[in-house]
Structure 1
Amino acid sequence: MNNAVRTVVNRFNTCVVTLQDSPRLGRLIRRRMTVVSYVGRRSGRRFSTPVTYFRTADGVRIDVMMPDSKNWWRNFTGDGGPLTVRLDDAERTGHATATRLNSRKAVVNVRLTT
């Protein structure tokens, strides 16, 4: 990803995270968008990123569109790994597993544990 695109993405992500706490728009945004946090497998650093999500019977599903242009979801391929997701104004932990469906879409399923 070139620097101009990265700058736009970072600004958008910052805006979404800020709007989630907004008294007027927060509730509307939190219905479909949240922030996930995880520790990178190779770097060991903690990352947080806003994502759109859908609730499932035992957790949440995150659709990753254009997976080749995003790296975060690759931390959850294979056996998956731990993830924290903000839901209903609380941090919830879970185990995430990622599956690539095709060249245009991957899915991260999060089974909540708390």
Structure 2
Amino acid sequence: MRIPENVVNRVNGCVLELRSSPRFGAAVRRHLTVLTYTGRRSGRVFSTPVGYRRAGDVVTIGVRLPDAKSWWRNFLGEGGPLSLDLDGVDRGGHGVARRDERGRVTVTVRLDP
């Protein structure tokens, strides 16, 4: 099941507006960040809002509906570089995607020092 691109773009736009909202932005940014990466095959730069949990220099991103999304596949195997907007600062890191036996996908990011 693929989600139409125009729907994805609309939802992502709404999320980005909420993140920058004076009223709700701080609360939204505690749970949602913007992940930026370069596509493996296309070489294009992409940014997408994602939910996350952070513990020190490790950020965990749970990918909801992974079969309907493709961005996380850029981080399979050895993973790859990315950046996250955390506390208003772009932080570089290395993300690795794993799919568990139940089909759930998690991207684990180790932030650069």
Give the TM bin, normalised by the shorter chain: over 0.9
- What are structure 2's unaligned runs of at least 5 residues? none
Match of 1:34 in 2: 33
Query: Contact 1:68 / 1:103 at 8 angstroms: preserved in 2?
Result: no
**Counterpart of 1:91 in structure 2: which amino acid?**
D
Taking the aligned partners of 1:20 and 1:57, their CA distance within structure 2 comes to: 22
Residue deviations 1:4-58 (CA, integer Å, cap 9, x gap)? x432221110011111111101001001001000000000000000000001232
Match of 2:16 in 1: 17
Match of 1:112 in 2: 111
Match of 2:85 in 1: 86
Match of 2:45 in 1: 46
**Cα distance change on mapping 1:74 and 1:18 into 2, 3 Å:** same
Q: CA deviation at 1:64?
A: 0.6
Q: How many pairs does the alignment contain?
A: 112
Q: Which of 12-21 and 43-52 deviates more?
A: 12-21
- Output the aligned Cα RMSD: 1.3
SS at match of 1:38: strand
**1:58 aligns to 2:57 (yes or no):** yes
